[in-house]
Amino acid sequence: MNYQNNILTGERNQFGINLFSWGMFKNFSNTYIGTYIAPVDERDYYEPRTPGRVYVRTGFTNIFGGFNTNSNKKVSFNFNYYGGITNEIPGTIPRNPWGGASIFTNWRAGNRFTLTYGPDFHRDYGDRGWVNTENDGTIVFGRRVIQNITNTLSASYVFMRDMSLSVNGRHYWATGHYLGYYVLQEDGNLHDYINYAGNHDFSFNSFNIDMVYKWIFAPGSTLSIAWKQNILKEDPQIDYNFIHNLSGTVQAPQYNSISVRVLYYLDYLYIKKALGRKKN
């Protein structure tokens, strides 16, 4: 059970009930399932982004679960899912469903090479949140369809006990299409903003590659050479074609960096002893 109270006003901020179950099979695979229920409204003092203002979030019901195979096997899988729905605001905003899932595949080739790939998908069919604050102090909220797709690929190779190379790649794509705009009232509720003419749709991409070479050349002493590539791209127009979007992202301006770090461990007692020998 989760209960949070505002120590300044005495009002309830959050109340929810969490149920969770986990089990393991004889082959060391495991599974879990759970639910979180917030039956009443919650008071959010952060989303309005204005001191002293509050946003009243409707209650919701969320379920989640997953299945993981034995990670000691040559190939293993991790599957996770979740979904939920908010309560309705009569006459203003209907129920809002959301959901997502991820599946990671891990492959080990002996004790030297490992490879992991995992797509992660999330879609919210009516997320409600802050849009902007106008010059007269009017706080504008919006209801939007949010979609996030993340693809992660990681590989590592151990040349010898003290030398390794790792490569990590990640593409994150987030889109938001607004369905309507609202004015945040003093009591924390939302009312339709019929005459609002702004357009805040967005498509955001982040593409990262990190490659790190590490050599432990002495006990406690490490040489690390890292190359990082970062691409950020944001558009007001949404192209839902994944291939077109990815192609446009990799052609955007890139930021590359190379860093070298040497960490050398000094044994104080050894140095003290060596200096003592020289004096004698």
Give the pLDDT confidence of 225-241 residue by residue, as tens digits.
999 999 999 998 898 89
Mean pLDDT over 29-44 rounds to 92
Task: Give the CA diameter of the chain.
Answer: 92
Would the pLDDT of 276 be above 70?
A: no
Would the pLDDT of 91 be above 80?
A: no
Check: CB of residue 71 under 8 Å from CB of residue 42: no
Sorting pLDDT into bands at 50, 70 and 90, what band is 277? low
- pLDDT, greater one: 18 or 92: 18
Mean pLDDT over 141-170 rounds to 96
CA distance 60 to 233: 33
DSSP 112: T
pLDDT number for residue 278:
62
CA distance 235 to 272: 61
Other CB atoms within 10 A of residue 55 CB? 22
- pLDDT, greater one: 276 or 177: 177
Mean pLDDT over 145-164 rounds to 96
Would the pLDDT of 1 be above 80?
A: no
CA distance 103 to 173: 17
Would the pLDDT of 245 be above 70?
A: yes
Would the pLDDT of 160 be above 70?
A: yes
- DSSP lists the bridge partners of residue 206 as 172, 232
**Residues in Cβ contact with 56 at an 8 Å cutoff, skipping those fewer than 6 apart:** 41, 42, 43, 44, 187, 188, 189
The mean pLDDT of the chain is: 91
| Burial class, 272, CB count within 10 angstroms (exposed 0-12 / middle 13-18 / buried 19+) | exposed
Mean pLDDT over 65-85 rounds to 95
Would the pLDDT of 280 be above 70?
A: no
Percentage of the chain exceeding pLDDT 70? 93
Sorting pLDDT into bands at 50, 70 and 90, what band is 14? confident
pLDDT number for residue 182:
94
**Is 249 strand, coil or helix?**
helix
Helix, strand, coil percentages for the chain (3-state, nearest 5): 10, 65, 30
CA distance 30 to 51: 45
Percentage of the chain exceeding pLDDT 90? 72
The angle at the Cα of 246, spanning 241 to 250, to the nearest 5 degrees, equals 155
Poorest-confidence range of 2-11, 143-152, 165-174?
2-11
Check: CB of residue 91 under 8 Å from CB of residue 103: no
